[in-house]
Structure formats: C-alpha cells, structure tokens
Amino acid sequence: MKKVLFIATGGTIASKRSHHGLKPQITPEELIGYIPQVQSFCEVDTIQLLNLDSTNMEPKHWKMMVHTIREHYDAYDGFVIAHGTDTMAYTAAALSYMIQNSRKPIVITGAQKPIDLEITDAKSNLIDSFLYASDEASQGVQIVFDGKVIAGTRAKKVRSKSYNAFSSIDYPCLAMIQDMNIMRYIPMIPFKEEVHFFEEMNDNVYLMKMIPGIRAKILESIFAQYDSIVVESFGVGGIPKSISEDFFRLCKQYPEKLVVMATQVAHEGSDMTVYEVGRDIKAECSILESYDMTLESVIAKLMWILGNKGELNENVEDIFYKSINYDLIFGKNRKC
C-alpha cells in the first residue's frame, strides 16, 4: 500500500464559519476523518504546516512546503497539499520550478466549500487527490480539482464560486478522474534525471497592468526598486504610446532588469511581432516574452530564476525559455 504525506496549509477546505467570515480551523486529521475510504488504497500521515487563507500565501510559505517535502521525500510515495483556491495556481507553478524531475506525485487540491458542509466539493477533491497520488504512473506537480488533473504550470482559477473553478490554459488536462478511475490523456514519461529541489525564491517582481490612458508617473520608481517587471499588456503585447518614451529610456537605463511582456488575455498568449507597438519595443530593448505561459507561471518562474541565478549557471533568457512541467509549448518558434 502506498504511503502518502498529507500537508495542510489552510484554505476554504479547512474553514469554519466565524463572526468575521470563513476562517481555516479544521486540522488535517479531521479532514482525513471525512474521507475514511482512502484508507483502503493508501496509508496517510499528516502535517499541519500552515493554517492560512490563501490570500495570505507568500513565497516564504512555498519555501516551507518545499523544505517539508524534501525532508520527507524518501519516506513517502506521494504528497497531497490542501490549499486555498485563490492562490493555488501560483503555488502550483512555484512548486513546479522548485521541485523538478520528481518521480513521485506532488498533488495540490482544495475546495470551493468547507468540508464540514453537507453539500461540498471538498470530499471528492481530496479522494481524487489521494487516488492520484497513490497511482504508480503519477509524477511531478499537478492540481487535482473537480475531476481534472492539471499540470502545475497550466492551471488558472477561472470561476470564483463554482466547483469547476480551474481550467488548464492552452494545454489538455493530463488526466480525468471519475468513479475512482484515472483516465490519462497525456502519457507520463518517467524522468531520467534525479529530483532537484530549489529552496530559494526572490519575490522582488512587479506586475504592471496596462490600462487605457496609463501614465508614466511611477515607472521610474518601479524600475529603480524591482529586479523584474512583468508588463501585463493588451492582446498579443505592446507598450502604449502614452508611456513608450519613458519605458524605452528606462529599459536602456536598467539593462540588468528582467522585463517580460505578458498579456491580459487568458488564451493563446503573446506575440510582439504582430503589431508596431510590440515590434518597436522588442527591437529597441532586451525584453523577454511570455508567449503561451500563464501569468502565474511567468511570475513564479521569474522568482525562481532570480533566486537561483548562481546555481542555475545558464543564460537567463535560455532558462526562461526552457520548458518546465509543460509551461512553455510554442515559445519563440511559434507560428503566426
């Protein structure tokens, strides 16, 4: 029988009502008590690592998760992390970069309703997660939610209340789980390299969202203070004329800054070669492009790169465009 470590971090799944709204209070042992059937296919141990509303999740907490998994890696066949849904996609992306080549599954799940309610998605999500974490063919970092298995770098929360809260963006779900059966759509090719843990993240990353009529008032401060700037632009990517002169100047003034062009559009990614507003900045400045990566993956990947420059010992652009856990499919070779 497979041994699975259950790591609780809080979230709606473990919440009870208080005078100030839902608050994480249910222990991992209590959570397991709601799903006794998992004992028929795996042996579960529990750790209460955190007890947070996931709105309060930070990179320091990702480091705690990675450290915990690293400490217990040899003793277990798989890991299940209970997590709030609001920042789950960020955590799944971050762990995809911080734990690479894991032949053991690291499953992240949660719920839209607390587990102690009569009608809830928590029980099915947990059962599916333990089932997936116990399966011989599972590996790497994934979200298991509403019967879907989504690569950790491809998940995005697209609904705030419904049970089908997460979608796999521009990539198929790796598998579906129904009636205790795992139906795999993407075959898992076993990793040849040994598992590699990274426990550093540099969160000095700024997300700058473009809006019509944006002005350059705070650009100077952003470039001066942050190691990396992600521009969440319109459509396939570009810089509005209202800030382009200052933006070009600052890119050249701070050539060491990691600047990445992303898009506000959920599907199909960026392509700065399409329009003049994108071509100009790509020609003038050393700027990276998100292509088909999710915004959550872009931000997590930059934090990972910045935090592990010395260890990675590669050109930053090459690292950014290296596909990890399905995060980048088309990249620079995409066809328009």
Domain end marker among 197, 230, 253: 197
Say how many domains are in the chain.
2
* Predicted confidence (pLDDT) per residue in 137-160, tens digit: 999 999 999 999 999 999 999 999
CATH number of domain containing 12 = 3.40.50.1170
Domain end marker among 170, 197, 224: 197
Annotated active-site residue in 9, 12, 120, 263: 12
Could you identify the residue written with the tokens 């290296």?
Answer: 322
CATH number of domain containing 238 = 3.40.50.40
Question: Residue 62: which domain range?
Answer: 2-197
Say whether pLDDT at 22 is over 90: no
Of 28-32, 134-138, 266-270, 298-302, where does mean pLDDT reach its minimum? Answer: 266-270
Look up residue 174 and give its two tokens: 């790796």
* Predicted confidence (pLDDT) per residue in 38-74, tens digit: 999 999 999 999 999 999 999 999 999 999 999 999 9
The yes-or-no answer on residue 12 being catalytic is yes
Q: Give the β-pairing of 140-145 and 42-52.
A: unpaired
Q: What is the mean pLDDT of the chain?
A: 94
* Residues 329, 189 share a domain: no
Domain end marker among 167, 197, 227: 197
Q: Which residue has the higher pLDDT, 166 or 269?
A: 166
Look up residue 193 and give its two tokens: 């390299």
* Predicted confidence (pLDDT) per residue in 319-333, tens digit: 999 999 999 997 655
* Residues 211, 193 share a domain: no
The b-or-e profile of 29-67 (16+ CB within 10 A means b, else e) is eebbeebeebeeebebebbebbbbbbeebebebbbbbbe
